[in-house]
Amino acid sequence: MTTTAAWQERWERSMLGNYGTPPIALVSGSGTHVTDADGREYLDLLGGIAVSAIGHAHPALVRAIADQAATLVHTSNLAIHPRGVELAERLIALSGWDARVFFAQDGATANEAALKIVRRHAAAQRPDGTRQRIVAMEGGFHGRTMGALAVTGNPAKRDPFAPFGHEVTFVPFGDAAAVEAAMGPDVAAVILEPVQGENGVIVPPPGFLGEVRAITRRHDALLVVDEVQSGMGRTGAWFASTAAGIVPDVMTLAKGIAGGLPLGAVLVTGPARDALRPGDHGTTFGGNPVACAAALAVIDTIERDGLLANARAQGAALAHGIRDLASPHIREVRGVGLWVGVEFTGPIAGAVEVALRARGVLVNAAKPQVLRLAPPLTITADEVTAFLRALEAALAEVP
């Protein structure tokens, strides 16, 4: 029995079945590579699903975590700790907005906080409770907690857990006219992702975010932009919102913000900035000193090493290289920055994922016909070339 097989057996005896049994057991990582329990190395084109923004075991991240852990690990939310204030200030400066910040544990809890801000703001506008409806996008994904799941536009994920206590109208992603038609005096907010990651890296038409921003302003509703996957440099800009030239009322972050440690953030600007009052919301672990120190190291590294430019350059090389393979299996290559979706002509994404793993490359079949790529922002041109060779070979063996 291999070491991986031993871990799989122990997993099956001890873990709930919501994930199934993973095909690999990873024990270490360095840069854009990870190593499994059998000593096999993989080129990581998934990055923990857009989390390991500066790669695995980056010296700056390791040092920041170790130094902070040796100083102060936890305070509770009854005390200020410097790393949290410093991180909030950095995020506000990166956005360029007059914002305030709340720290959560992850993307779902950041979106839960955003929904409570929406509800509080709407109650201040309409104390009679007649403004609670939310407009969300078909195909969107905002998390698996009950509030976040309510606005997730994927019936397979959402419907088994209904009802939710939120009135939500779903409209086609990228259709500004449908957003306008769904609006009314009872709409408190529109929530969307700038690019739909879980839905297969779906990029909306140019100008869509700006049109929705204008629509929400006309109807005096909030705009909540979920940048859990798109934020922190994934698209080649700090935030897809700022790249699109818009200022949402609420923006949520997580994934790559702390390089692998659990952290989410909510930036709130405009009239909703003062929606929450003391006691309205809180968290035990969100924004703890170690996670905030890690996030500061991630930001410093992205800035110092020019990783936004690298994301744009290597993302373009990745997308162009896949198109240049001219495989009959490939229908479309889409994405922005180091966030690429490869849509196939049939449901072969799972088979391609397996074939690539056999060649020492990790990717993700986000949908039966779509492969999702979200490598560390540190990926090099040589590593992109190595992936393209592996993908060409994998596609050649898929029926």
Same domain? For 319 and 252 the reply is: no
Same domain? For 44 and 121 the reply is: no
Same domain? For 31 and 74 the reply is: no
Q: Where are the beta strands (DSSP E) in 138-183?
A: 168-171
3-state secondary structure of 345: coil
What CATH number should be reported for the domain holding residue 326? 3.90.1150.10
- Give the pLDDT confidence score for residue 336 in this predicted structure: 97
3-state secondary structure of 229: coil
Same domain? For 320 and 206 the reply is: no
Mean pLDDT of 50-63: 98
Reading phi first (left if > 0) and then psi (alpha if -120 to 50, else beta), residue 98 is in beta
Among 67-71, 128-132, 372-376, the minimum mean pLDDT is found in: 128-132
Point out the domain boundary residue: 304, 339, 374.
Answer: 304
Terminal C-alpha separation, the chain: 31
Among 60-74, 135-149, 263-277, 279-293, the minimum mean pLDDT is found in: 135-149
**For residue 303, pLDDT beyond 80:** yes
Same domain? For 299 and 193 the reply is: yes
Domain span holding position 338: 3-54+307-397
What CATH number should be reported for the domain holding residue 177? 3.40.640.10
Same domain? For 340 and 372 the reply is: yes
Average pLDDT, the chain: 95
Mean pLDDT of 1-12: 90
- Give the pLDDT confidence score for residue 68 in this predicted structure: 98
Question: Catalytic residues, which ones?
Answer: 141, 226, 255
What are the backbone angles phi and psi of residue 11, rounded to the nearest 5°?
Answer: -55, -50
Tokens of 262: 């659990």
**For residue 327, pLDDT beyond 90:** yes
Half-sphere exposure in the Cβ direction for 327 (13 Å, CA): 28
- Give the pLDDT confidence score for residue 161 in this predicted structure: 59
CA 80 – CA 89 distance, rounded (Å): 14
Same domain? For 300 and 311 the reply is: no
Same domain? For 280 and 316 the reply is: no
**For residue 264, pLDDT beyond 90:** yes
Do 179 and 190 meet the contact criterion of CB atoms below 8 Å apart? yes
Tokens of 53: 């923004």
Point out the domain boundary residue: 270, 304, 338.
Answer: 304
pLDDT band at 162 (very low <50, low <70, confident <90, very high): low
What global pTM score does this model have? 0.94
Point out the domain boundary residue: 277, 304, 331.
Answer: 304
- Integer-rounded Cα radius of gyration of the chain: 21
CA-based nearest residue to 149, from 122, 115, 118: 115
Give, as one character, the DSSP assignment of residue 196: B
- Give the pLDDT confidence score for residue 390 in this predicted structure: 98
Q: Output the CA angle 8-14-16, nearest 5 degrees.
A: 95
- Give the pLDDT confidence score for residue 361 in this predicted structure: 98
Same domain? For 266 and 334 the reply is: no
Going by C-beta distance under 8 Å and a sequence separation of 6 or more, which residues neighbour residue 272? 117, 118, 121, 222, 249, 250
CA 3 – CA 23 distance, rounded (Å): 12
389-396 contacts at long range (C-beta below 8 A, 24 or more positions apart): 390/43, 390/356, 390/359, 390/360, 390/361, 391/322, 391/325, 391/352, 391/356, 391/361, 392/325, 392/327, 393/355, 393/359, 394/352, 394/355, 394/356, 394/359, 395/325, 395/327, 395/329, 395/330, 395/352
Q: pLDDT tens digit string along 89-146?
A: 999 999 999 999 999 999 999 999 999 999 999 999 999 989 999 999 999 999 988 7
CA 150 – CA 157 distance, rounded (Å): 10
Mean pLDDT of 158-177: 85
What are the backbone angles phi and psi of residue 233, rounded to the nearest 5°?
Answer: 95, -5
Same domain? For 311 and 290 the reply is: no
Share of the chain above pLDDT 90, in %: 92
pLDDT band at 298 (very low <50, low <70, confident <90, very high): very high
Do 113 and 319 meet the contact criterion of CB atoms below 8 Å apart? no
Q: How many domains does the chain have?
A: 2
Same domain? For 123 and 46 the reply is: no
Task: Output helix, strand, coil percentages for the chain, rounded to the nearest 5.
Answer: 40, 20, 40
CA 135 – CA 350 distance, rounded (Å): 32
Same domain? For 178 and 319 the reply is: no
- Give the pLDDT confidence score for residue 154 in this predicted structure: 82
Q: How far is CA 390 from CA 169, 188, 292, 360, 362, in A?
A: 42, 48, 37, 8, 11
